[in-house]
A and B are shown apart, each in its own frame.
Chain A
Amino acid sequence: MSTVAVTPAANPVAEFASRHAGWLIGLGALALWELAGDYNLVAGGALPSPSEIIRQIWLDRQYLPRHIGATVWPALLGFLIGNTIAILAAITFVLWPPVERLTRGISITIFAIPAVALGPILVLTVDGIKPMVVLAAVSVYFPTMIAMLVGLKDIDPRPVDLIRAYGGTRRHILLHVRLRSSLPSLLAGLKVAAPAAVLGAILAEFGSGQRWGLGTYLLGSIGMGNPARIWEIGLIATAIASIGYVAFALIAGRATARTKQVTIASATPQDLAGTGGFTPINIAYAVGAAVVPFIAWWGIMKWLDLSPIIAKDPIGLWNYFFNARNSAVTQASLWDALLQSVPIALLGLAIGLAVAFGLAVLISTRPRIGNVFLPVALVTQTMPLVAWAPIIVLLFGRDLTTTLIIAASVTFFPALVTILQGLSLVPRSALDVLRTYGASGAQQMRMVSIPSSIPYVMAAARVAVPRALLGVMIAEWLATGMGLGNLLNRARGSLDYGMIWTVAFTSVAISILFYQLVTVVERAFLKKYRAGSA
């Protein structure tokens, strides 16, 4: 019956190949790439060979360090500031839940702002490197805050009982249970936040008038017909983001290695979506959460004290959109842009999520595939989208396919990471029980892994919505000349400040709308899952 550990067939070549499959495939791909580049096999020379790219880096060696420095420094500052705020906010939310409910609108807004729309506004309202720092900070706030919050809330109730039995308070529970058990989740959040900071900094350089920085460099290179230069910038931006990503991945590996939960906690996952029901208190909170962002917006504008023509507060924007001389034109062009951008963003979102879920399931059932795929996924996870969008444009042309590919790929990468994270957190003992009864991989998936990862799939979907819109807008801005992205770029060029605000506000509003839709679906799912797991 029982099998003894079998030594692999004594074929040294096969053994070497299987052990180093990842490396071998990587080397093979690199060789193919070189050939394809040297002989201009892809998209009429849009794919330069690795050696060409290296040559380009060598040619640009004089200016590159300055461009890199000008991007990395604000990204790093923003990363630190944004994450500090995010971590403190999550802790505050856990200790005083009403604060979370009241500021939920602000959190969602920060998360839903497409960085490409916020960038021009920051450039209008603050000076120097501040737009980059702020956009980097804004970009990292939400992934870190939500990861920390999930980690702080999703705890084993048994040690909590113990602490309470010794008279422990919320503070003790935070100190001895929540903080430490949030660590894996927090590190996963920081891992995602690192590339986001780089992306934010680069995006804020667009139209900032800064002389140095990878974003400035990229924008200046797009029209020059030198694919090697575009690839150079894309690869360098990716490398920078990867350093942050890998650093946190390594720390996370150490932090979780020895301390996996030994037995399964009997609690169902926390409902992060909040408590449902139309009670007066809930309605009051919901209204509060919706009003607070507007108050904050108004307050910031008041505080910055800028010309009302440039810096619009809610009332100013309302007047521009409804009561100005050319409001009808404004409304019409916004409506056209929306019809071009939103459907494609949703389609890209659906494709990206579906592929991510399929791949995550595949990787977690067949670790071998993971060995090959994960390094690839890891690299792609860290690609700052904006640096790659021009490359996708180079490869696929300037039409809707490009937009769709960009929208799908921006949702795919973070979704894959989030879902894999959920699948890897499945308690060992729960899977052991099934394995004991000879459950197949598929059964393990169906009975334990997928149900317990549903909250993570939903989290991935929620995070993906604004990213899809962001992807679409970047593609439109840089390539297709359609939709919201193009409208924003044109408004920027013609100093139509009201239109910049209109597009920014609209894109946030759409993201929030879809965010709420996902939340509703998530509640329905969780309800079903709970009923089934009693």
Chain B
Amino acid sequence: MPAAVALVAAEAPPAAARPAPVDGIAIRDASKVFSVNREKFEALRAVDLTVKKGTLTALIGPSGCGKSTLLRMIAGLEQADTGTVEVDGLAPAVIRSSGRLGIAFQDPALLPWRSVTDNIALPLQVLGEPVKAAAGRIAHLIDLVGLKGFETAVPGQLSGGMRQRVSIARALVTEPMFLLLDEPFGALDQILRRSMNLELQRILAATGATTLLVTHGIDEAVFLADKVCVMQKGPGRITAEIAIDLPRPRAPELFTAPHFHQLSDVVAEALHGGH
């Protein structure tokens, strides 16, 4: 059935001796063990993941397989026990204070006392960039995520989906070169999700940001990604990489195209069938 699909098994990486620093995000042989109540828990084992410059890689896998952990490693919030994490050949700590990283967590993580506008401005303040000068951009982002009229509302007055959209706008406010999105559309309804998918695609096309997107939606992954990485748990590892060779820009009609469905089936197969 999957005739025109390039299916690359994760166990067969390109056999270069010592890989030179690559552009984009590169995780090599990363492992992570957590200890919970004195018991060791292997969250990630020997994960290799690259996101080429200007592309979007979607990460999909069952709950608890280590997707968020991987993403947090790239942001330098979690240290790998073994292996390396590099962004444009630089350590996470270096890249993040350069302002080139944008991040949206699974949880909106808003400051409850700040208005929508001020929450979105937070990364700028941390990076020491002028907030006033970005007022226009912030207003535009609020509009983009459909929160016009809620500029001065505080998180307690917003719905779960609205809060999540604030965190998406916040991830975009620094015009990042690298975007880490952890289930950014998880709390949105299907229609809003589709339109946010289109917006994201438009933004990425305009900025050329290198993106890692964690998602539970197969269709979302296939629609947005250049490559889908499928993870399994126990221990967390990447079990399949599926190249998505659909031409860009991708239009909403794609969701009903046969080739789209073929690719979705491959991902579903790797996710549910292939252990």
Contacts and interface: CB of A to CB of B under 8 A. Distances in A.
Contacts, number: 76
B97 A166 contact: yes
Given A161-B77, A165-B75, A166-B126, A180 B97 contact: no
Contact of B126 (A161, A168, A258): A168
A168 B103 CA distance: 13
A262 interface: yes
B123 interface: yes
A468 B2 CA distance: 79
Contacts of B36: 534
Interface residues of A, number: 24
Given A165-B96, A167-B127, A262-B163, A180 B37 contact: no
A166 B107 contact: no
Contacts of B155: 262
A258 to B, nearest CB: 5
Given A162-B170, A176-B122, 19 more contacts: A158-B105, A159-B109, A162-B103, A163-B122, A164-B75, A165-B101, A166-B96, A166-B97, A166-B103, A167-B96, A167-B127, A168-B126, A172-B126, A180-B111, A180-B113, A181-B113, A258-B113, A260-B156, A262-B155
15 contacts: A162-B103, A163-B126, A164-B76, A165-B101, A165-B103, A166-B97, A166-B174, A176-B122, A176-B126, A177-B111, A258-B113, A259-B112, A260-B112, A262-B163, A534-B36
Interface string B87-130: 00000010011110101010101111100000000110111000
Contact of A176 (B76, B98, B111, B163): B111
B154 interface: yes
A28 B174 CA distance: 63
A259 B154 contact: yes
A166 B127 contact: yes
Given A166-B126, A168-B126, A180-B113, A259 B96 contact: no
Contacts of A262: 112, 155-156, 163
A262 B37 CA distance: 28
A155 to B, nearest CB: 10
A494 interface: no
Contacts of B75: 164-165
Most chain-A Cβ atoms within 10 A of its Cβ — which of B75, B113, B125, B163?
B113
A167 B126 CA distance: 7
Most chain-B Cβ atoms within 10 A of its Cβ — which of A163, A166, A181, A262?
A166
B171 to A, nearest CB: 9
Contacts of A161: 72, 77, 105, 109
Contacts of B97: 166-167
Interface string A246-289: 00000000000011111100000000000000000000000000
B163 A162 contact: no
B77 A165 contact: yes
B111 A258 contact: no
B99 A162 contact: no
A163 B121 CA distance: 12
A332 interface: no
Nearest to A173: B126
Interface in A29-82: none
> Which 6 pairs show the lowest CB-CB distances between chains A and B?
A167-B97, A158-B109, A259-B113, A168-B126, A165-B75, A166-B126
A9 interface: no
Interface in A501-534: 531, 534
Nearest to B174: A166
Contact of B156 (A177, A259, A531): A259
Interface in A151-201: 156, 158-159, 161-168, 172, 176-177, 180-181
A277 to B, nearest CB: 15
A254 to B, nearest CB: 12
A30 B216 CA distance: 66
B38 to A, nearest CB: 11
Contacts of B111: 159, 176-177, 180
B108 to A, nearest CB: 8
A534 B37 CA distance: 8
Contacts of A164: 75-77, 96
Most chain-A Cβ atoms within 10 A of its Cβ — which of B111, B123, B154?
B111
Contacts of B154: 258-259
A263 B107 contact: yes
A181 B110 CA distance: 13
A164 B75 CA distance: 8
Nearest to B71: A165
Contacts of A162: 103, 105, 109, 122-123, 170
A166 B101 CA distance: 7
Nearest to A161: B77
A167 B75 CA distance: 9
Nearest to B123: A166
A159 B167 CA distance: 11
Contacts of B170: 162
Contacts of B112: 259-262
A180 B123 CA distance: 17
A162 to B, nearest CB: 5
Contacts of B127: 166-167
Nearest to A172: B126
Most chain-B Cβ atoms within 10 A of its Cβ — which of A159, A165, A258?
A165
A181 B126 CA distance: 17
A177 B113 CA distance: 10
B151 to A, nearest CB: 15
A4 B270 CA distance: 50
A133 to B, nearest CB: 34
Nearest to B163: A262
Contacts of B110: 159
Nearest to B37: A534
B136 to A, nearest CB: 21
A147 B113 CA distance: 19
A433 to B, nearest CB: 14
A161 B126 CA distance: 12
A162 B174 CA distance: 13
A256 to B, nearest CB: 9
Contacts of A534: 36-37
A295 B123 CA distance: 45
Contacts of A159: 109-111, 122
Contacts of B105: 158, 161-162
Contacts of B103: 162, 165-166
A172 B97 CA distance: 12
Contacts of B163: 262
Nearest to A256: B113
